[in-house]
Amino acid sequence: MSENQLKLRTKFIGTRKVKEYRETIPVWVNEDDVILEIGCEWGTTTRLIAEHCKEVIGTDISPDCIQRAREMHPDLHFEVLDGFDARAALDMGKEFTKVYIDISGLSGYRSLLDVISLLMMYATVLRPEAIIIKSGALKSFASSCIAWRSSD
């Protein structure tokens, strides 16, 4: 491997369905974390994340969802964001330590390449410790992967 090759420090956690997605919160979210959540809808998961960390920003592409999230959780921070615009996420000016992603349409197997592109984009732009994503496609693919380790 070239010395100049990209070495990712980010771990990727693939979950299937919202129950698994939320189950990760007590395991992966710590009190020092600053979390970016992408695809927060009305802020239900944002509320659960907020109980475990220093700061969370819930974001969604839909202004209607963000308006409702702000009404339902006036003490939490929500912003409109297209999750595919990592530059806009960077411009928020926060050192995000973890990213949660639940964007509609990313579960089917045909979306696997989009999911991997999205994960690589956030891993290189924000460099969080972990990205937790709701994507059955990624979970299934990751379960079939084996990272070969040489014995020498």
Ligand X SMILES: C[S@@+](CC[C@H](N)C(=O)[O-])C[C@H]1O[C@@H](n2cnc3c(N)ncnc32)[C@H](O)[C@@H]1O
Using the rule CB under 6 A, give the single segment among 3-11, 78-86, 124-132, 135-143 that binds ligand X.
Answer: 78-86
Q: State how far the Cα of 125 lies from the Cα of 79, in Å rounded to an integer.
A: 19
Q: Which amino acid is at 67?
A: Q
Contacts of 84 (CB under 8 A, 6+ apart): 118, 121
Give the residue among 87, 69, 76 at the shortest CA–CA distance from 35. Answer: 76
> Do 123 and 89 touch, CB atoms closer than 8 A?
no
Beta bridge partners of 80: 60
Question: Mask 102-141, x = binds ligand X (CB under 6 A)?
Answer: xxx-------------------------------------
Tokens standing for residue 1: 């491997």
To the nearest whole angstrom, how small is the minimum distance from the Cβ of residue 125 to ligand X?
A: 15
Out of 62, 77, 129, 141, name the contact with ligand X by CB under 6 A: 62
Out of 13, 49, 73, 83, name the contact with ligand X by CB under 6 A: 83
To the nearest whole angstrom, how small is the minimum distance from the Cβ of residue 47 to ligand X?
A: 9
Any contact of residue 89 with ligand X (CB under 6 A)?
no
Out of 57, 60, 107, 128, name the contact with ligand X by CB under 6 A: 60
Any contact of residue 65 with ligand X (CB under 6 A)?
yes
Give the number of other Cβ atoms within 10 Å of residue 110's Cβ.
9
Please report, as ranges, the residues that interact with ligand X according to CB under 6 A.
Answer: 18, 38-41, 44-45, 60-62, 65, 82-84, 102-104
